[in-house]
Amino acid sequence: MSLQVIGDPVLHSKSPALHGAMLSALGLDIPYDARTVRRGELPEYLTWAEEHGVTGFNATMPHKEDVLPLLDEIHPAAAAVGSVNTVCLRRGRWVGFSTDGTGALAALRDGLGFDPAGACVTLLGAGGAAKAAALALADAGAARVFVCNRTLDRARQLCALAPSGRLVPAGLEGGTLARCAAQSSLLVNCTSLGMEGCPGQFEAFDFLDKLPHGAAVFDLIYHPAQTQLLAQAQRRGLPAMNGLPMLVWQAVLALEHFLGRPLDRKAMAAAATAALNEI
């Protein structure tokens, strides 16, 4: 039995450190390593993996969507999001899961003490991460999630995935963003704005002033550890968190799928966080 994370590029991944620490804490001698798999190489990889005893892998870019038609079974939550990040070999069948949305919720509850039930949320972006977070928040009982995106059609397409009507499409211009923020107890950034090495930055942060007292800010970016959004939120006294706790909880939930059993999630998160702090 062995585990891997695949992608291109992937050798920078923190997953081997996170999973290695958790497996060690469990007293399990199961190797977990990173393997470069380029776009178009997935069919060959799946054959190789099964022949070489790989019983599970995490998929990162560019494979989170490309792997879908190659799987024997897709968990409903992953099918709704349209991507997987965790794949397990079970009785000779490849089964895909997504821990993106559930990882985000676990990070919010553990790191910010935020309960989505009945809450209003402003969510920035309409890509894959935004889709996972928005659907998870809606499933967790959020009263309303404003999906704010520069391209309104993309926001509408995302919101149409939740028939409950809890997802509301909106633009990303200042006035609209301010109106959404004024009604929200949480703001989540799922865009690349502020990410190291990516072009683009927020033009202004006035919308943070519209958030109610006690509202929190969650930026899925973790490189850099403190984005301008987080710095501006903290300057205003708002509870704020980057994406590292989400990375940890995604790994915890993925390991449960790999091992096929529930784990002491708090203990696993603590082990994974300690490993992150040593990197």
Question: Which string of DSSP letters, residue by residue, matches the chain?
Answer: -EEEEEESS-TT-SHHHHHHHHHHHTT----EEEEE--TT-HHHHHHHHHHTTEEEEEE-TTHHHHTGGG-SEE-HHHHHHT--SEEEEETTEEEEE--HHHHHHHHHHHHH----TT-EEEEE--SHHHHHHHHHHHHTT-SEEEEE-SSHHHHHHHHTT-TTS-EEEE--SHHHHHHHHHT-SEEEE-S-TT-TT-----S--GGGGGSPTT-EEEE---SSSS-HHHHHHHHTT--EE-SHHHHHHHHHHHHHHHHTS---HHHHHHHHHHHHHH-
- Catalytic residue (choose from 64, 131, 210, 266): 64
Angle between helices 265-278 and 15-25 (to 10 degrees): 130
Token representation of residue 21: 């620490």
Asked if residues 148 and 176 have their Cβ atoms less than 8 Å apart, the reply is yes
Bridging pattern class, strands 86-90 and 73-74: unpaired
Residue 266 designated active-site: no
Catalytically active residues are 64
